[in-house]
Structure 1
Amino acid sequence: MLNSAFLRPAAALVLLVAPACSFDLNDRPNAGGVATDEPTAASLQDVRWELRELGGQPAPRTERRPFLVLRNNRPRVEGRASCNQFSGPYTVADRGRLRLGPLVTTRSTCPDLAAEGAFLQALNQAQRYHISNNTLTLYAADTLGTPLARLQAVAQ
């Protein structure tokens, strides 16, 4: 009988502790209960990623901010390279590995095709990625060198 007297409280304690151990800080409501449109813990897919930095430099100022969205329901990337739209396939082989393209673009006449070309080139060279808070960083072969691009998650 000593065993059952010990096991019941221990079982109750396990039932109470298990949910507490799985509590995710990203799932809690924001402080003050104020609604916000900004994503807090971005996943890779179905997020609008806007360009903030290109080749270690602030993103060039363009009429429209370049962005991309990796669709979850199909392996397709879509976006805008400032003036022209682009799309193409993508693959995520395992965590941290990402390949975009080949990308196809529209052919509008644009005032600054150099900045647009640099962004598209960075996307085509991307092989690795890292997400920290709301920032997606794209790298070529390894994550030690200068990032190809940094993008920030924004509300769509």
Structure 2
Amino acid sequence: MINKFALLLLIAMGLASCKSSQSSKNKNNMVQLEQNTTTTWQLIELNGEEIKAGDQKPVRFTLDVNNRVYGFTGCNNFNGNFSLDKNYALSFSPLATTRMACPDAKINEQQVLDVFNQSKFYTLEGDWLFLKNSQDNLLAKFKKIEQQEQIVEKYWKLKELNGKKIEMQPNQDKEIYFMLKTDENRLTAYGGCNTIGGSFELKTGQRIDFSKLMSTMRMCEEDISKIETEFFKVFDTADNYSITGDRLTLNVGRRAPLAVFEAVYF
């Protein structure tokens, strides 16, 4: 009887050892998120159900090189911080969100926020990211978005123009900025006095083309008018861009940046 019990114990231990060894082997082969890159992820599946946003802006979030997270819930924008380690742990700080009411939203915003509140671990398989809770249960599935799409739907505040730092003037209504809207590929910008509108096209190799540019014709103070004229020329001249986290430059060829911008989140 003792021999039989000992044999069963040895078999159980052997199976556990094999399982542990196999689990360790699989874990070692898993791909990890990189902390020195900025990556955007789009929601594909939430609580086991496929997400179809239709004609609405998709739910996305971005992990940047400064351990900041920001994104869109289907109704509001959000931002915060995240923590990542080599044991496939991924958690988020309490997120700050805008407070828009969206009665026509097709996705339950609270369920999206719950994913980030409950996230503890992740699995990365190619371009697919799986967020899991503390019990290792799947919360949501995301797909990696190409880098060129990270430039759109953001508020870009002007920081430098032709190598000179830009500060908001006392007689300005608001700061100089621009946005690229995905609906109809629209450009909207403010130069300190006038607004400008137009179209844009993103191309491979981080190339960009602005066209159909038109601006309002308000009379401006001389100091603002000079900066505004130079700012609007950027959109006439720029043919490529570079983006690292919250920093964007618009360039022409391989010369020094025409303008440097910083992303602002509300």
Q: TM-score, normalised by structure 2?
A: 0.47
- SS, match of residue 235 in structure 2: helix
Counterpart position of 1:33: 93
Note if 1:79 corresponds to 2:189. yes
Q: How many residues align?
A: 145
Q: CA RMSD in A?
A: 3.1
1:102/1:124 contact within 8 Å kept = no
2:158 aligns with one of 51, 73, 79? 51
Residue type of the alignment partner of 1:103: L
1:84-137 alpha-carbon deviations (Å, 9 max, x no partner)? 111100011113101122311111111121110000001210001000121110
1:23 aligns with one of 18, 29, 33? 33
1:56-100 alpha-carbon deviations (Å, 9 max, x no partner)? 111254312210000123211111111111110001111310112
Q: In the aligned structure 2, how far is the partner of 1:33 from the partner of 1:12?
A: 30
Correspondence list, 1:60-139, <5 A = 61-62=168-169, 63=172, 64-111=174-221, 112-139=224-251
- Ranges in structure 1 where 5+ consecutive residues have no aligned partner: none
Which 10-residue stretch deviates more, 20-29 or 100-109? 20-29
Q: Summarize the Cα distance change of 1:24–1:71 in structure 2 as closer, same or farther, 3 Å threshold.
A: farther
Look at both structures and tell me which one has the larger radius of gyration over its CA atoms. Answer: 2
Q: Summarize the Cα distance change of 1:96–1:109 in structure 2 as closer, same or farther, 3 Å threshold.
A: same
The CA deviation at 1:15 is 5.8
* Larger RCO: 1 or 2 (CA < 8 Å, sep 6+): 1
Residue type of the alignment partner of 2:155: R
- SS, match of residue 74 in structure 1: helix
Q: In the aligned structure 1, how far is the partner of 2:264 from the partner of 2:24?
A: 41
Q: In the aligned structure 1, how far is the partner of 2:156 from the partner of 2:94?
A: 24
Residue type of the alignment partner of 1:124: D
Q: TM-score, normalised by structure 1?
A: 0.76
- SS, match of residue 152 in structure 1: strand
